[in-house]
Chain A
């Protein structure tokens, strides 16, 4: 383990309060900079965004202190703790969207999908049949849970981390559900001749 990581661990165990304050200072810098990096895509600015960064840094310090014994030295200690604050920031942003915009699980916004997939109005006649087949597959091949998540994320543009809050779930469970849904939809479109065949299995 590198000397700086050893020093951090020792300080957080032997002089916890002072070291935790230094850790908070470090993570706050990371959170503020990361929030700024994401700002153009978030539609959150100014004090509101700074507040999310402060919350993320504070919660990350608590999480790091609680999991200190889990650190195995696979990376530098600082890299390990950066991960905590970045994941906390994502979680705070997801919760912010959930509270501000709500989560629309229905009705479906099918009209937006062709544009997002780069399909323009000029060749509508060519892609309309494929889009109809996709819609049919969503309605007939997906389970109600898969359909619900597909509609929310793919059609209605709900951020995945906001859906995590709404459903009391976690990112991995939602991703896995969507992964399986995408696989089913592709298989249906391949079977009906709309897409070319390719193999895919679950993670």
Chain B
């Protein structure tokens, strides 16, 4: 049987998705929240998390920002980043 899961995922839209503008407006706050190891960032920032999961460009920006917050310029990388 043909697996249409990729098509399903591509066409799936999340009603919580806040869009690029709102997600980018709080990206620095969300990145620090995630980097701090605080509980349930996806729940606290549900609309932002929903957006970053499906928007490639915003997801890429978030990954870059999170990595920078976890390992700032000049800082030595740790053996294991806290997740």
Contact = CB atoms under 8 A, between A and B. Distances in A.
Interface of B: 1-8, 10-21, 24, 26-29, 31-32, 47, 51, 55-58, 60-61, 64-65, 67-69, 72-74
Nearest to B25: A83
Contact of A30 (B6, B58, B61, B73): B73
Interface in A130-147: 130, 134
A203 B78 CA distance: 38
Interface residues of A, number: 50
B3 to A, nearest CB: 6
Majority secondary structure of chain A interface residues (helix, strand, loop or mixed): helix
Contacts of A199: 15
Residue among A34, A80, A202 having the largest count of chain B Cβ atoms under 10 Å: A34
Contacts of A182: 10-13
Contacts of B61: 83, 86-87, 90
A75 B11 contact: no
